Each structure stands twice: as structure tokens, then as C-alpha cells.
Structure 1
């Protein structure tokens, strides 16, 4: 099995960090764009798609309105996916930074999947 590597995606967003953070860190927000059904209990989120078996991820760390890092329970200990909210210095624009892990040959496909998901998020945000 080849080792997964981290990759980063960045998307400019037209909304406040606090509104964006709600969509990235709460079951109701994530259910709007990331998965069909989202539940949370004791910092473990359950994500379901198309009525399938839930995939679980624990929250590793978070800072309100700044970032949240999840780790799939089935993934390696060093792997995670992260949503980070940054502001550009000059224009003060909000940037959504997504960090995730994938095998080298799968990064392009995984990036497309994230783009599809983020497009849904932007639609919900009115972007």
C-alpha cells in the first residue's frame, strides 16, 4: 500500500468566517453540503451518503472561526482532513483552505470531489 500524501486546496469565499465556520463544524451545517446526514456525539461525527453505512470522523482540534481538523476513524493516525479559514492581508478576503490526504494517483480525483462539494457549499452560502 502506497503512503498517502497531503494536498491543499484554496477557495475564496464571500461570507464572514463565523458563518463559514458553522458550515464546517456543525452537523446542521455539514449536512447542508458535505453529506446527506450528519450526527455528532462526543466529538465524533457520523457522515452518511445515500442512506449508506455512516462513516465516522473524530474532531482532533479546532479553533472557533479559524479551523477544524477531523480524522476518519478508518484512516491512518497521521491522516486527517482540515478546513481552515484565512483572511488575505491586503483585500481582507476570506479563503477556505482544505487539507486532505490521498494516494499520489488519486489526488486529482479527490480534488475534483472536493470542488464538487465546495460548489454545493458556495450555493448554500449564496456565493
Structure 2
């Protein structure tokens, strides 16, 4: 098994943490921008892309601040969304934490850039 590289990306997002959090933590919100379809059973989310399924367990959930999904079929592999709000300026940022093989970090970052562009478009920001 190859060692995964941790990727941390930050995106300024011009909307309220509450609205953003719903798009990051619910099946309907994630279906709008992240996957073709999302099914939920308890804390288990099944993400569907072009007919392929991947299952993750929602292991952390802090309202309007953080959600983490651990991939069921990959040990110690997860992706996480953190919402950061600057106390002084009120600026909201979305921080994405993910893991990829070392030779795929740029490809993974590009994929997130594309996904977050879709999310911003849906949010109208």
C-alpha cells in the first residue's frame, strides 16, 4: 500500500456558513455539486459517479463548521470540509482536506478546484 499525501485547499466563499454547511453535509446538498447521486443510511453515505459507487461514513459533524467522511474501503483515508469565518472581516472560507497518491496531488487539487467552482456557482457566489 502506498503512502497517501495530505492535501489542504482553501477557497474563499461568499455565503453564510449555515447555507454552505447544508451543501457539504446533506445528501441533497452534495448531489448538487459533488456527486451524481448520494444515498444516506444512518451515517453512511454512498456517493455515485457515472454509475460507480463509493461508500463513506460521516465520522465528524460540527454544525456550520466541520464535516468529515471516512472512506469505508480505504483505511485511514478521509475527506473533510471545514468552514472558517474571520472574526474581524466576516470572510468565509471553505477548507478541503483530502488525500491522494503522491503522483496524483495536482490532479486531485484540480478536481477539487472544479468541484468547488460548481459549488460556488450553485451558491451564486
2:74 is matched with which residue?
75
Whole-Å Cα distance in 1 between the matches of residues 124 and 60 of structure 2? Answer: 28
Question: 3-state SS of the aligned residue for 2:70?
Answer: strand
* TM-score between both structures, scaled by the size of structure 1: 0.94
Question: What are the residue-to-residue correspondences of 1:38-57 with 2, within 5 Å?
Answer: 38-50=38-50, 52-57=51-56
Question: Any unmatched runs of 5+ in structure 2?
Answer: none
Question: 3-state SS of the aligned residue for 2:121?
Answer: helix
2:16 is matched with which residue?
16
Q: Describe the superposition over 1:74-124 as per-residue Cα deviations: whole angstroms up to 9, x where unpaired.
A: 112x22100000012331100000000112211110000000100000000
1:26 is matched with which residue?
26
1:123 is matched with which residue?
121
Question: Any unmatched runs of 5+ in structure 1?
Answer: none
Structure with greater proportional strand content: 2
Question: 3-state SS of the aligned residue for 1:54?
Answer: strand
Q: Which 4+ residue blocks in structure 1 deviate beyond 4 angstroms?
A: none
Q: What's the C-alpha RMSD, in Å, of the aligned pairs? A: 1.0
1:66 is matched with which residue?
65
* TM-score between both structures, scaled by the size of structure 2: 0.96
Whole-Å Cα distance in 2 between the matches of residues 81 and 53 of structure 1? Answer: 18
Whole-Å Cα distance in 1 between the matches of residues 109 and 7 of structure 2? Answer: 9
Q: How many residues align?
A: 125
